[in-house]
Structure 1
Amino acid sequence: MSFLHRNDGIALALAAATACTWWLGEGGHEAISPAVVGSVLALAGLKGYLIANEFMELRHAPAVWRRLVLGWLVLVIGSIGLVSWLASR
């Protein structure tokens, strides 16, 4: 029997990712660089993937639902990244 269950480890990973995004966003930078924005969006994507697959139990759902939810996640994060990139130019 292990010390942590699967969901406990995922919850700890989500908490660590949240702490990292907070640290990156509130780091006292005068200007947020594209690398910081990319890192925050990548962590947001990872968090969304873990929440959808593990806590919404999409890994047991039909493939069409997984594709729809994860495709929506990619579309939203990609759109935010594109707007941020265009605004920084």
Structure 2
Amino acid sequence: MGKGKYPHLLGSKWTATSDTFGWRHFLVTNRKNEGGMVFAEMKSACGPDVRFWVNAKALKDRRLWLPGWVLLTDLTRQDLPAPINDSHFN
């Protein structure tokens, strides 16, 4: 199966803008295509027992997720941008 949408998703690093299951830094360890949507399995970088699936489209919402690992001190100082208009990505 080709990667299609989100070709660089697997192995990418993300910071949740708020505590998610008690953690903020996550790695994408798996992906699946289901019903025309792409899902990413997120694994906590600090708590390996914390795993969950998220619609990859949600990772585009900068109110929820930031690409890479952002320090908590930097996260609290920065202004989070408005959500991305999905029509630009279709």
Structures share fold, TM-score greater than 0.5 = no
Query: Per residue, is there more strand in 1 or in 2?
Result: 2
Q: What is the TM-score normalised by the length of structure 2?
A: 0.31
Query: Per residue, is there more helix in 1 or in 2?
Result: 1
Q: What is the TM-score normalised by the length of structure 1?
A: 0.31
